[in-house]
Amino acid sequence: MIEETLPVGPFQQNCRILACPVTGDAVVVDPGADASEIVARLVKIKTPNGKSLNVKMLLHTHAHLDHVGATRALKEMLQPGCQPVIALHEGDQQIYEQLASQSRMFGLNYGEPLPVDRFLKDGESFTVGILEFKVIHTPGHSPGGVCFHVVEKSEAGTSVAELLLSGDTLFQGSIGRTDLMGGNHAQLIGSIKSRLLPLNGGLRVCSGHGPDTTIGEEREENPFLR
């Protein structure tokens, strides 16, 4: 699995690039800011067999401005070579459409977003090359918050690598804040305990901000989950 992380924008949000090492098909997860830097990184990345990346999807764990702020610019900068699909859970559509007003609250100036091309559903799976993505709906930080369980498959169909993109649902030693638009603390705790903590303890958790962690570490040590 080709994996790159770019902390972007004033909130230093972890934008992730994940790509199939065989086909070069790729996704960009949570392009919150700095579209030109994301494009520059995409151009530099090659697969082991020398292929350039072909961005298929712009995935979003949720629709707060630091996770969607560069989506429009990125899609427009990638065209016409790529036609990436903008994907988001429908529960966050209203928040997504209020990007401009969200940005004004923080003294920023983001324009209107492009329409969502595909609404993600809890439990659905899709593939990007040899990468398999499963959508896990984890409301609480926002109504349509999701995590992505990503598994890289070998030619024989066995798992060779996996990770969880947790957005702002779960952090190392912490959880997402719930005082923003659409937040609900009790719902967030319930989502984490019922949807994430039962996963494999060794599963690497790639959060929307800050360092990676594991499910096992957060199950045992996260003070918010006791």
Using the structure block, give the residue that is written with the tokens 């983001």.
110
Residue 74: the pLDDT is 97
Closest C-alpha to 28, from 44, 46, 6: 6
Residues 176 and 168: beta-carbon distance below 8 Å: yes
> What count of other Cβ atoms lies within 10 Å of the Cβ of residue 147?
26
Instruction: Check if CATH label 3.60.15.10 holds for domain 2-225.
Output: yes
Beta-carbon-side half-sphere exposure of residue 117 (alpha carbons within 13 Å): 13
Residue 56: the pLDDT is 97
Residue 154: the pLDDT is 85
Q: Where are the domains of the chain?
A: 2-225
Residue 181: the pLDDT is 83
Identify the three-state secondary structure at position 72: helix
Question: What is the pLDDT tens value at each position of the chain, 226 positions in all?
Answer: 999 999 999 999 999 999 999 999 999 999 999 999 999 999 999 999 999 999 999 999 999 999 999 999 999 999 777 889 999 999 999 999 999 999 998 888 889 999 999 999 999 999 999 999 999 999 999 999 999 999 999 877 888 899 999 999 999 999 999 998 889 999 999 999 999 999 999 999 999 999 999 999 999 999 999 8
In DSSP terms, 85 is beta-bridged to 57
Residues 148 and 18: beta-carbon distance below 8 Å: no
Q: Report the predicted TM-score, pTM, of the whole model to 2 decimal places.
A: 0.96
Helix (H) / strand (E) element for 163: namely strand 159-167
Distance CA 157, CA 91 (A): 33
